[in-house]
């Protein structure tokens, strides 16, 4: 199985988005990491953890309106990280080994510099679960304990 076969197609975000808009994109897509692109070229990745770290502390004396204003007017550009990426023809076993070795749980899929999609740990687990279910031999047992 190749990386390109299990990647998810997500709507990328841009480096000039506000933290509030990026957070909204995370929520609407239900993912943990989003690619940041410019003309379909990967600039980096931002995670929900990055967003959470950028939020003011709960102990802050800012009002909810002040916090809202900050999130609407603060860009994500300082939160963007350079990710490890994979190619669409990389074997899934190599992707899993890379994830284990580096402790990374999502990868942008890049082909000739162009962003194609994302691989999330959930995609890998679903694929492996489907393979296990497909290859499991089902044995029926009658009441006497004999194989049917």
Per-residue pLDDT of the chain (148 residues; tens, 9 = 90+): 899 999 999 999 998 888 888 888 889 998 989 999 999 899 999 988 888 777 666 666 666 666 666 666 566 777 778 888 999 999 998 999 998 899 888 999 999 989 999 999 888 888 888 888 877 655 555 555 555 5
What is the reported pLDDT for 57?
61
Closest by alpha carbon to 2, among 127, 100, 115? 127
Tokens of 69: 């204003």
Backbone angles phi and psi of 114, in degrees to 5: -95, 140
The alpha carbon of residue 95 and the mean position of all alpha carbons in its chain are separated, in whole angstroms, by 14
What is the reported pLDDT for 138?
57
Secondary structure letter of residue 61 according to DSSP: -
Extract long-range pairs of 19-26: CB within 8 Å, 24+ residues apart.
19/51, 19/54, 19/55, 19/70, 19/71, 19/74, 19/75, 19/76, 19/79, 20/68, 20/71, 20/72, 22/46, 22/51, 22/76, 23/51, 23/71, 26/51
CATH 3.10.580.10 fits 3-135, yes or no: yes
With 0.85 as the threshold, say if the pTM is over it.
no
């Amino acid at each position: 199985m190749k990386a390109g076969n299990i990647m998810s197609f997500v709507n990328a975000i841009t480096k000039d988005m506000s933290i509030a808009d990026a957070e909204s994109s995370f929520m609407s897509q239900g993912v943990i990491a989003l690619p940041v692109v410019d003309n379909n070229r990967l600039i980096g990745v931002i995670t929900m953890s990055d967003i959470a770290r950028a939020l003011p502390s709960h102990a802050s004396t800012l009002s909810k309106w002040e916090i809202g204003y900050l999130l609407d007017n603060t860009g994500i550009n300082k939160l963007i990280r350079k990710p490890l990426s994979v190619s669409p023809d990389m074997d899934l076993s190599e992707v899993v080994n890379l994830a284990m070795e580096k402790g990374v749980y999502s990868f942008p899929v890049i082909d000739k510099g162009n962003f194609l999609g994302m691989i999330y740990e959930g995609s890998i687990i679903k694929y492996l679960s489907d393979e296990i279910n497909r290859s499991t031999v089902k044995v029926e047992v009658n009441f006497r304990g004999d194989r049917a």
